[in-house]
């Protein structure tokens, strides 16, 4: 078991858990080297780090597959989503690289992630028109893979603890159809303004596991070293079910039940 009983209960109540040593530091370093080569600027020449944030798609190379295939991570996901109920994406999605900069990043607003395309345009590449519903269709977890050490000054993701509960209630009014990320942003995330904020810090090889409704945000990088993370969504083999005849609810499901009860 990767997570203790207390960690699981904390995840239900707070919507986030930190999984340390989820994958090997050597694997994280190999991923970082690949990311630097893909981005262009040298890791030894910070004077060439001109942009505060850059993004690339995670390449389908062995170190990234090794990180995703971590037995410790799989054990934690079995505990939180349910054994046999989740599926790891084929690639780790977008890599977000943040560099020390006095420029304000353009992507530091509070949000949750959308998980399925609009029904009238299933091939849409416009992420702001993608949708999310109270069953978190197609996304069982948001994961933050840390490929570099990340301290308080290194642009750690800001996480509103417990925000998944008011967000679950907010999403119920949209029913199964859900709401687009653009319209949800217009409505705002004031329902979680009161939530305590924690920083997703950790050593390389850490994975933060966030409930899919947990509100989070980027921030400026005030440190000295580049910070690289991947932030893939975890898929469902079996969609979130709030009415199980066997009462075998996962912690992800229990959190939604707690919110809407």
* Residues 135-162, mean pLDDT to the nearest whole number: 97
- pLDDT tens across 2-33, in order? 999 999 999 999 999 999 999 999 999 999 99
Domain count within the chain: 1
pLDDT tier for residue 42 given thresholds of 50, 70 and 90: confident
Question: Which CATH number is 101's domain given?
Answer: 2.60.120.620
* Residues 38-65, mean pLDDT to the nearest whole number: 87
3 state SS for 86-107 = EECCCCCCEEEEECCCCCCCCC
Residue pair 184/110 in contact by the 8 Å Cβ criterion: no
Phi-psi region of 74 (alpha: psi -120 to 50; beta: other; left: phi over 0): alpha
Quote the CA–CA distance of 161 and 169 in Å, as a whole number: 15
Helices (H), 124-224: 164-172, 181-187
Q: What pLDDT sits at residue 168? A: 96
Q: What pLDDT sits at residue 205? A: 98
* Residues 134-144, mean pLDDT to the nearest whole number: 96
Q: What pLDDT sits at residue 254? A: 97
- Percent pLDDT > 90 in the chain is 84
Q: Domain of residue 80: give its range.
A: 5-260
């Amino acid at each position: 078991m990767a997570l203790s009983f207390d960690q699981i209960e904390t995840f239900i109540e707070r919507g986030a858990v930190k999984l340390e040593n989820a994958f090997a530091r050597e694997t994280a370093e190999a991923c970082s080297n690949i990311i630097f080569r893909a981005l262009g600027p040298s890791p030894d020449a910070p004077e060439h780090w001109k942009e505060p944030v850059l993004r690339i798609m995670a390449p389908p190379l062995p170190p990234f597959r090794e990180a995703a295939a971590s037995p410790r991570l799989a054990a934690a996901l079995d505990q939180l989503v349910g054994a046999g109920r989740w599926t790891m994406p084929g690639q780790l999605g977008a890599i977000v690289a943040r560099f020390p900069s006095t420029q304000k990043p353009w992507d530091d607003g509070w949000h949750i992630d959308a998980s399925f395309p609009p029904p009238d345009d299933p091939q849409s590449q416009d992420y702001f028109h993608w949708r999310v519903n109270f069953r978190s269709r197609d996304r069982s977890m948001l994961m933050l893979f840390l490929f570099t050490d990340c301290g308080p000054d290194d642009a750690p993701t800001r996480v509103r603890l417990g925000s998944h509960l008011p967000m679950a209630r907010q999403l119920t009014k949209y029913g199964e159809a859900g709401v687009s990320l653009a319209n949800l942003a217009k409505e705002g995330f004031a329902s979680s303004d009161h939530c305590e904020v924690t920083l997703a810090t950790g050593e390389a090889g850490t994975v933060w596991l966030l409930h899919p409704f947990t509100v989070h945000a980027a921030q400026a990088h005030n440190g000295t070293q580049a910070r690289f993370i991947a932030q893939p969504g975890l898929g469902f083999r079996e969609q979130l079910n709030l009415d199980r005849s066997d009462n075998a609810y996962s912690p992800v499901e229990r959190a939604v039940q707690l919110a809407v009860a």
